[in-house]
Amino acid sequence: MNSTKKEIPTCEVCQQPANQTCGGCKLVYYCSKAHQKLGWREGHKFKCCAFKIQYSDTYGRHMVATRDIKQGEMILKEKPAALGPKMTCPPHCLGCGKKLEPTKVKDIYDFYKCTSCNWPMCGPECEKADIHKAECKIMTDRKYKCNIKYEHVDKAEAAYCVIAPLRVLLMRDTNPRQYENVLALESHLEDRMSTPLYIVLKANLVTFVLQVLGLPFDEETILKVASIYDTNSFEVRSPDGSRKLRAIYVTASMMNHSCTPNTRHIIVGDDYNLAFIATVPIAKGELITATYTQSLWGTLDRRKHLRTTKCFDCECERCKDPTELGTYLGSIYCSICNGPGVFGTEKPPMLVSSNPLDEAAPWKCEKCDHFILSRQMFWGNNALSEELKKFKKDGPNGFEDFILKYSQTLHPNNHLVVQAKLALIKIYGNYKGYMLSELSDHLLQRKIDLCHDLLELADKLEPGWTRFRGTLLLDLQAALTVQTKREFEAEKLTKSGAQDQLMESMVLLQEAANILRVEPGMKEIIETKIQEVAQQLDTGDSNDDQ
Ligand SMILES: C[S@@+](CC[C@H](N)C(=O)[O-])C[C@H]1O[C@@H](n2cnc3c(N)ncnc32)[C@H](O)[C@@H]1O
Ligand 1 centroid vs 257 CA: distance in angstroms? 7
Q: Is the dihedral of CA 120, 126, 128, 129 positive or negative?
A: negative
Q: Is the pLDDT of residue 107 over 90?
A: no
Tell which atom from ligand 1 comes closest to the C-alpha of 188: 27
User: Smallest Cα–Cα separation from 205: which of 223, 189, 192?
Assistant: 223
Ligand 1 centroid vs 187 CA: distance in angstroms? 10
Protein residue with least CA distance to atom 15, ligand 1: 256
DSSP 26-46: S-SEESSHHHHHHHIIIIIHH
Mutate to test the pocket of ligand 1, among 63, 230, 256 (most ligand atoms within 8 A of CB): 256
Mutate to test the pocket of ligand 1, among 53, 186, 259 (most ligand atoms within 8 A of CB): 186
Tell me what the mean pLDDT of segment 401-426 comes to: 95
Q: State the Cα angle at 512 between 509 and 518, rounded to 5°.
A: 130
Tell me what the mean pLDDT of segment 88-104 comes to: 93
Tell me what the mean pLDDT of segment 383-397 comes to: 91
Tell which atom from ligand 1 comes closest to the C-alpha of 62: 6
Tell which atom from ligand 1 comes closest to the C-alpha of 58: 21
Tell me what the mean pLDDT of segment 50-64 comes to: 94
For residues 135 and 117, what is the distance between their CA atoms, to the nearest angstrom?
Answer: 9
Interface predicted TM-score (ipTM) of this complex, two decimals: 0.99
Residues 6+ apart with CB under 8 A from 43: none
Tell which atom from ligand 1 comes closest to the C-alpha of 258: 19
Mutate to test the pocket of ligand 1, among 59, 260, 311 (most ligand atoms within 8 A of CB): 59
pLDDT of residue 347: 73
Give the mean pLDDT of the chain. 92
Residue 13's Cα: distance from chain center in Å?
A: 35
Ligand 1 centroid vs 236 CA: distance in angstroms? 20
Residue 282's Cα: distance from chain center in Å?
A: 21
The answer to whether the CB of 277 falls within 8 A of the CB of 70 is no
User: Of the spans 36-50, 249-263, 386-400, which averages the highest pLDDT?
Assistant: 249-263
Q: Is the pLDDT of residue 156 over 80?
A: yes
Q: Is the pLDDT of residue 1 over 70?
A: no
List alpha helices for 82-157, DSSP H.
124-127, 130-141
Protein residue with least CA distance to atom 24, ligand 1: 312
Residue 447's Cα: distance from chain center in Å?
A: 24
| Single pTM value for the model | 0.89
Tell me what the mean pLDDT of segment 405-419 comes to: 94
pLDDT in tens, 344-353: 556 788 999 9
Protein residue with least CA distance to atom 4, ligand 1: 254
For residues 146 and 92, what is the distance between their CA atoms, to the nearest angstrom?
Answer: 13
For residues 384 and 410, what is the distance between their CA atoms, to the nearest angstrom?
Answer: 10
- Domains of the chain, with CATH numbers? 1-49 (no CATH), 82-248 (no CATH), 342-539 (1.25.40)
Protein residue with least CA distance to atom 13, ligand 1: 59
Tell which atom from ligand 1 comes closest to the C-alpha of 55: 8
Protein residue with least CA distance to atom 22, ligand 1: 59
For the chain, how many residues are written? 546
pLDDT in tens, 490-538: 999 999 999 999 999 999 999 999 999 998 888 888 888 888 888 887 7
pLDDT of residue 116: 97
Protein residue with least CA distance to atom 21, ligand 1: 59
Euclidean distance between the first and the last CA atom of the chain, given in angstroms as a whole number: 18
Protein residue with least CA distance to atom 27, ligand 1: 310
Query: 4: pLDDT confidence band, cut at 50, 70 and 90?
Result: very low
Ligand 1 centroid vs 11 CA: distance in angstroms? 36
pLDDT of residue 546: 43
For residues 403 and 399, what is the distance between their CA atoms, to the nearest angstrom?
Answer: 6
Please give, one letter per residue, the 3-state secondary structure of 248-279.
ECCCHHHCEECCCCCEEEEEECCCCEEEEEEC
Tell which atom from ligand 1 comes closest to the C-alpha of 255: 3
Query: 152: pLDDT confidence band, cut at 50, 70 and 90?
Result: confident
Residues with Cβ within 6 A of ligand 1? 58-62, 185-186, 188, 231-232, 253-254, 256-258, 310-312, 314, 316
The answer to whether the CB of 416 falls within 8 A of the CB of 388 is yes
